[in-house]
Chain A
Amino acid sequence: MSHPPRIWQLVLRSIVHHSEQQFVEGDLEETFHEIEGDYGSRRARQWYRSQVLRSIPGFLLRTTYWSLEMTKNYLLLALRNLRKSLGFMSINITGLAVGIACTIIIGLFAISELSFDTHHEQADRIMRVVRTSNFTEVETRSPITAAPLGPMFTANFPEITNYFRLQKRRADIEMRVNGRVFSESDVYDADASILDILNIPAARPMTADALEQAYRLLLSESVAERMFGTQDPQGQTIQVLGSDYVVDGVFRDFPATSHFRPSVLLSFETLVQTRPGVINHMGNNFFHTYLLLNAATDRSVVDAKFPAAIEAVAGPEVASRIGFHLQPMLDIHLHSHMDGELEPNGSVETLLILGMIALFILILAIVNFINLSTARSARRAREVGVRKAVGAHRTQVISQFLGETIMLSALALLVGLGMTFVFEPIFSELAGRPLDLSLLVHPGFLAGLVGFVLFVGLLSGFYPALVLARFNPVVVLKGDLLAGQSGSSFFRRALVVFQFTVSIVLIVGTLIVNRQLSYLQDRPLGFDEEQVLVTRMRTPEMRRSGATLISEFERQAGVEGVTASSSLLGNGAGGVLLMPEGVESGEDGVSVAMLHVRPGFSDLMDVSVLNGRRFDPDRPADLDEAFLINRTAALRMGWTASEAVGRSIVWPSSLDGSTPDVMEGRVVGVLDDFHFQSLHTQVEPLVLVATADVPSYIMTRVRTEDLSATMQGLEQAWAQVYPDDSFEAFFLDDHFNNLYAAEERSARMFRLFSLLAIALAGLGLLGLASYSTSRRTREIGIRKVMGASSTSILRLLVSEFVILVSIAFVIASPIAWYIMRGWLSNFPYRVGVEPQAFLMAGAAALILTVVTVGYHATRAAWSDPIETIRYE
């Protein structure tokens, strides 16, 4: 007697529902042997095969029918369960949904952060020139370079095929169109080659020579629409700062994922023709220079050639102090944080931290989900016992529970997606730009979501399913429901500890980030930055009539005083090399930052004098032979503040040749250190030189009362002196606050997500507390009958969780301390990692615990023991 063909037996087994397998297989085998007996085994095997093949459609139909029938039953049970413990389930689903929404939003944010500038086809070949200078001991890096660099490098290096230069106009620019006035921010001067190097799609046809001639401009689509409505603006005239420009075309708005987003591009040629002094001078660092490398070139090859090139042009002395290197455009958004960036950039650290927070929130949510599902499933032991007693397979029980958790996690996903849409505007506000929700329907993303649902469903269903399927129906039905549950209760406790560890770390982090931020914003800068209006002399021509402007400004009511400096406070200052007394050669000079200021500067800005005196406007000699130095400069030159006064200093000449003067003078006073740079850097040695000219930045201290009248007066005074140029001004303290925009943004995000994490931990705790108290209902009843007071029972119930949270606190503290110390070490001026933050976080966690657990515990503790003991 042979055996039916095994392969067809397997096929049969795979299509027949397991409830029918036994007798169907038996039937076929029986007939098989009969046929074998009558006609031989060959015939029988043939018959067996044809039987299986022809039965496939019929059995498939039946199997589907059976599983549908069972699914209907499971679904019904699942829904009943959902309804029976609605509160429990909604906590469970909401928790996971919040976790999912957070992760999706942070994921979308990360995708958008990583995709900055990638929409340009040649993006990986576009480099920005970074200038490094080590006039002071700290090497400073700046993206702001001189105009001749681009053409020079392109002409001399075969690896560089093209360049463009950008200049961002600092203030809003007034534009007149047919008598209407518009104020535009994000106005840039740009070379025509920007259109070849970047991908700037035209929204309307552009002229073939767009931006190539002087007094031409391009508008972004949104600006064009604001100015001209639906009309094509090409060929129209716009008055910009008093000059007529012709519109060459309209480009589509730059995507939000661009490191700069111009609204108007003015032709660089205009600058070339009207300001040759600025454009041709190597010392005028005003521009961002971008280079296009040819495909085969690595940027390090070009970097290596820079020193020799600088030496050839400017001599060895300059070459030792100034260097250039290339920065990939794709690195700008996440990796570049220099003074003078076009926009506040993102930071890779923030992204990493956010990613970690997302991961933790998701883990928190999943943990909650598993935790609650497991806790709840213990209540269904009896259901499982009955099922098994009437003949359910282990596999059936497992698949029933897995199916339920998968269904729940799918439900949570739907809710989470809904939340994503609700939260997105809030987050966009924090992030400063909208997120691309269209990524949500990307097939890869959808596949990921389905995978996630299965993963979470299986993960959270697996443990309870396995435990339940293992239940011995006899034991379970006898009522000994929770035998073998002690192991899982350890598991649940560990999860609570984990959740609170994460929450406490996040709370501590948020508190410290907030403190650091307000510290940055509130730290005394060493001068009075309030109520100072800054106006920039945009051209050397304007500076010529600067003195007139200053005296006009000073005459206005509400103005306390006017002064000027060569750099904007907060943005640092240019470096020079000085030879203090006793130093003979330039090689041994001291590198310092230098500000050229009007004589009254230190007085008006309220910088305190440590020793000596300020510049005296009535002593003309101060203009030629007096230096004011800050405390750090005095130390660098080897003097104490009192020794320094009266010492002589020689300023040989500026190294880059931009100011050819030579000056010899004495230190007349030592100023206390003040922050002429942002608080991201330590105060550097600084030397002030008085000048009778008017340096670029005019600072007007105004009185608070009747500010608008004062502003009006200033604007009129400006119009008298410069009838052709518009009045642009901003407040110095705003400028300082903007320096910390990136920190501000991260602080707000951290606040939001820590809040969510805490809410999730609380939610999980709430569910667990309700579960654990209801499990102990009978125990509580018996304790009360035996004479325990309600308060002692309350203490018993709450202390269990308080201990867990305390353990979490002990674990979290060193972690938070370590992480935050690392973060703070990025700042030279910073708050300490102080115990208050930890105490507050611990207290918050504790209060949360007592409140959430206390609610259920109180109800249980004050319940009537007769009711609870009878409870079954």
Chain B
Amino acid sequence: MLTRAEELILLAVWRLQEEAYGASIRTHLSNVTGEDWPIATVYTPLDRLTRKGLLRSRMGAPTGGRGGRSRKLYRLTGDGVRALNTARSVTDAMWKDLPDPGLSLT
């Protein structure tokens, strides 16, 4: 099972595609959640996901604006895609046919 942070990060990597690296993932997550994510909280799950084989990383070419430093780019593996699908179906199943979630604010 993925943690919430892992799930969010996988989704971010999927959305950002070729442009998925630390800074872009962090910015995206911060924008979506409205919280400023510390960079360390992005890298820790990224590493864990890489070790689990859900992500693959490679070093990208250095680009401007980074003081000539290269980026570490991430991409979903097949397992990663499957894990996301599983997570989604679990979430859907959990939400499906709730009698009255009672969660609406009305």
Interface residues of A (CB under 8 A from B): 20, 22-31, 33-34, 47, 50-51, 54-59, 61-62
Contacts and interface: CB of A to CB of B under 8 A. Distances in A.
Interface in B46-65: 47, 59, 62-63, 65
Contacts of A50: 36
8 contacts: A22-B70, A31-B26, A50-B36, A54-B40, A55-B39, A57-B40, A58-B43, A62-B44
Contact of B67 (A26, A54, A55, A56): A26
The listed residue with most B CB atoms (<10 A of its CB), out of A27, A28, A51, A57, is: A27
Nearest to A57: B40
B104 interface: no
Contacts, number: 70
Contacts of B44: 58, 61-62
A92 to B, nearest CB: 38
A55 B41 CA distance: 7
Nearest to B38: A54
Contacts of A25: 67, 69
Q: Which of B23, B36, B39, B43 has the largest count of A CB atoms less than 10 A from its CB?
A: B39
A31 to B, nearest CB: 5
Contacts of B70: 22-23, 26
B27 A58 contact: no
Contacts of A51: 36, 38-39
B23 A31 contact: yes
B23 to A, nearest CB: 4
A29 B69 contact: yes
Interface residues of B, number: 23
Closest 7 CB pairs of A and B: A58-B40, A26-B69, A55-B40, A27-B23, A26-B66, A27-B22, A54-B38
A29 B62 CA distance: 13
Nearest to B23: A27
B15 interface: no
Given A23-B21, A29-B65, 4 more contacts: A24-B39, A24-B43, A31-B27, A62-B43
Interface in B8-31: 21-23, 26-27
Interface of B: 21-23, 26-27, 36, 38-41, 43-44, 47, 59, 62-63, 65-67, 69-72
A23 B71 contact: yes
Contacts of A33: 65
A546 B87 CA distance: 116
A59 B40 CA distance: 6
Contacts of A31: 23, 26-27
A127 to B, nearest CB: 71
Most chain B CB neighbours (cut-off 10 Å) among A33, A55, A59: A55
Contacts of B63: 30
Contacts of A30: 23, 63, 65-66
Nearest to B68: A26
Contacts of B43: 20, 24, 58-59, 62
B40 A23 contact: no
A431 to B, nearest CB: 60
Given A22-B69, A22-B70, A27 B26 contact: yes
Contacts of A58: 38, 40-41, 43-44
Contacts of A55: 38-41
A271 to B, nearest CB: 86
A31 B44 CA distance: 19
A579 to B, nearest CB: 103
A27 B21 contact: yes
Nearest to B59: A23
Given A31-B23, A33-B65, A26 B71 contact: yes
B103 to A, nearest CB: 31
A24 B41 CA distance: 12
A391 to B, nearest CB: 12
A62 B47 contact: yes
Given A58-B44, A62-B43, A34 B27 contact: yes
A379 B67 CA distance: 41
A570 to B, nearest CB: 84
A26 B72 CA distance: 10
Nearest to B60: A23
A23 B26 contact: no
Contacts of B59: 23
